[in-house]
Amino acid sequence: MPAQRVKTDDAPRTDNPYSQGVRAGDTLYVSGYGPVDPDTMDDVEGDIAAQTDQVLDNIAAVVEEAGGDGLDDVVKITVYVTDLDDYERVNEAYGARFGEVPPARVCVEVSRLPGDVRVEMDAIAHLG
């Protein structure tokens, strides 16, 4: 079965040459998302915890569009922050969204993210 593009209005859309997600069999690769509200396409207001919540909402929307159960199906996330001083607050917001078996994770500090946001994440989910 060929890979399938996943597209939803419930996550931020882009004119750039990438898909919101790509499903290859039971594996879903979710593109990187910053704290963008899909309804307004503006960055969300608020602190890094509110921004982290929006990022995770965006990832969950792509997983659900692909037929999954949102964050419950995520097995790996990479977190990109522009300031590791935000790590603890990101970690608290992130941890509140996952149950007993959180996904594997990497967190790295980067010099800059698109739109000059402070946090971005991409994900891999297992569907089925």
Q: Distance between CA atoms of 23 and 15, rounded to whole angstroms?
A: 20
Annotated active-site positions, please?
A: 107
Q: Where are the beta strands (DSSP E) in 26-70?
A: 27-33
Band (39; pLDDT cuts 50, 70, 90): very high
pLDDT digits 0-9 by tens, 64-110: 999 999 999 999 999 999 999 999 999 999 999 998 899 999 999 99
Q: Quick check: 120 and 30 in contact, CB under 8 A? A: no
Q: Which of 36, 29, 46 is nearest to 9 (CA)?
A: 36
In this prediction, residue 2 carries a pLDDT of 87
Q: How far apart are CA 43 and CA 35, in angstroms?
A: 6
Q: Residue 87: enclosing H or E segment and its boundaries?
A: helix 87-95
Q: How far apart are CA 97 and CA 111, in angstroms?
A: 26
Residue in 89, 97, 84, 81 with CA at minimum distance from that of residue 34: 81
Band (14; pLDDT cuts 50, 70, 90): confident
pLDDT greater than 80 at residue 5: yes
Query: Structural domains in the chain?
Result: 4-126 (3.30.1330.40)
Amino acid at position 76, single letter: K
Bridge partner list, 43: 36
Q: Which pLDDT does position 68 carry in this prediction?
A: 97
What is the model's pLDDT at position 11? 97
